[in-house]
Amino acid sequence: MKLYKNLVNAVAQILQEIFTKNRYADKAIEWQFKNNPQWGSRDRKFIAEGVYDIVRNFRLYSELAESKNNFWFITAVWLVNKNIQLPDWAEFKHVNSAAILDHKSRLEKNLPVYHSYPDWLWEMGEAELGKDLWQEEAISMNKLAPVFLRANTLKTNRIKLLEALMNDNIQTEIVTNTKDAVKLVKRENVFQSRLFKEGWFEVQDAGSQLITEFLDPQPGDLVIDACAGAGGKSLHMAALMQNKGKIISMDVEAWKLDELKKRARRAGVSTIETRVIQNSETIAALQKKADKVLLDVPCSGTGVIKRNPDTKWKLSKEGIEATKEIQKNILNNYSKMIKPGGYLVYSTCSILPSENNLQTSAFLSNHSDYSLVKEKTILPHEGFDGFYMALLKRNA
């Protein structure tokens, strides 16, 4: 393929934004695209795929480049690994492709480097999951994540959605063992689709959809989505409830709830009320009110590294420990909103047991009025993002 210097330079610039200014990959890419509207779809695809592949394999590529901040050289290493012929540019004159590939072969047995994970995270993964399972998940999370959609059953069903997308030359397939999920056969910018703008679907991982199904909200229920964010699961619950009942979507970030309001209008949802969590009184006012509560708590995000590969480089051991304390506090305090006989789902997008079943076990050991109904773990190698979910009942 023919390379263009401005596009290669854009990849290097975005990497600099990510690794020296600590910007999120998607935001750094979006900023570049916004400032270069002349780029076509092929240009954007080259840049986005290049950035994400380098971020995903940053430790390996920087080791091969013998530098963590020479982003042009690191980009050259990526091109060599992709078997792309390097042009005769001054920036590439010191690149020895044969030496890079030889060096790579000698790193195969150094698993944290070869698969590009921090040593501490590799060690934590092995300690919590065991060496074999962690290695399987670590390798799986270095693959490109598929794109899943959720049919909005307030406006359509997934058979009609699949057919309508097909008419727009967007191929999808039904995801078995889910109620409303479909999978893109190839990656598309579906946000420009008229069907998206008309609220026929949302982009949502199939595993995330299973969490809402796990809670099983019913028409007429009062449901609280206590860590709602921008509300993907709130919207799914509204659809499962046939837009009947009430959903209180809560978060500490007002801007996320503002985004939920926009999405709700597009989806035709009228049963969602948003509330910003300002202090403990916000939670206390809802004590024993809810039929069902969803606690999709903050977590390490180790289950979504496939989708957000820069997570590997933004995490820290200390940060995960602090997050586990937040999880514990949310579970202890927010569970009070469930009425006796009601149900709670505790969920994370982590694959670490210390954030998952060990948290629910600790909670149950200290709260005799709750019992475990069922729990489920989804691992990335199974095809979706990684999630944990536990359904708890508050006994009458």
Find the radius of gyration of the CA atoms of the chain: 23
Tokens encoding 131 = 């060496």
Residue 130 CB coordination number (10 Å): 11
Closest CA to 304 of 351, 346, 345: 351
Tokens encoding 235 = 């919207």
Q: Are 205 and 148 a contacting pair, CB within 8 Å?
A: yes
Closest CA to 335 of 274, 272, 275, 393: 393
Helix (H, G, I), strand (E, B) or coil at 386: coil
By DSSP bridging, strand 172-174 and strand 387-394 are unpaired
Return the residue matching tokens 């095809």. 383
Q: What is the DSSP string of 6-23?
A: HHHHHHHHHHHHHHHS--
Tokens encoding 117 = 């994970």
**What was the pLDDT predicted at 357?**
98
- Ranges of residues in the chain whose predicted pLDDT is under 50: none
> How many whole angstroms separate alpha carbon 71 and alpha carbon 61?
10
Q: Which helix (H) or strand (E) holds 223?
A: strand 222-225
Q: Are 1 and 86 a contacting pair, CB within 8 Å?
A: no
Q: Are 137 and 351 a contacting pair, CB within 8 Å?
A: yes
Kindly list the catalytic residues: 349
Q: Are 138 and 160 a contacting pair, CB within 8 Å?
A: no
Query: Residue 265 contacts by C-beta under 8 Å, 6 or more apart in sequence?
Result: none
Adjacency order of strands within the sheet including 272-276: 272-276, 246-251, 222-225, 290-296, 338-348, 387-394, 370-378
What domains can be seen in the chain, in order of their start residue? Answer: 5-111 (no CATH), 148-203 (3.30.70.1170), 206-394 (3.40.50.150)
Torsion of CA 387, 350, 203, 164, to 10 degrees: -30
Per DSSP, the chain holds a count of helices (H) and strands (E) of 18, 11
> How many whole angstroms separate alpha carbon 128 and alpha carbon 249?
33
> How many whole angstroms separate alpha carbon 396 and alpha carbon 386?
33
This prediction has a pTM of: 0.94
> How many whole angstroms separate alpha carbon 171 and alpha carbon 185?
6
Q: What is the DSSP string of 42-56?
A: HHHHHHHHHHHHHHH
Task: Give phi and psi for 275, each to the nearest 5.
Answer: -140, 130
Return the residue matching tokens 């959903």. 247
Q: Are 131 and 187 a contacting pair, CB within 8 Å?
A: no
> How many whole angstroms separate alpha carbon 336 and alpha carbon 293?
10
Return the residue matching tokens 């006012």. 285
DSSP state of 279: S
Closest CA to 210 of 242, 174, 181, 244: 181
Tokens encoding 196 = 């998206």
Q: Which helix (H) or strand (E) holds 191?
A: none
The gap between the terminal CA atoms of the chain, to the nearest Å, is 67
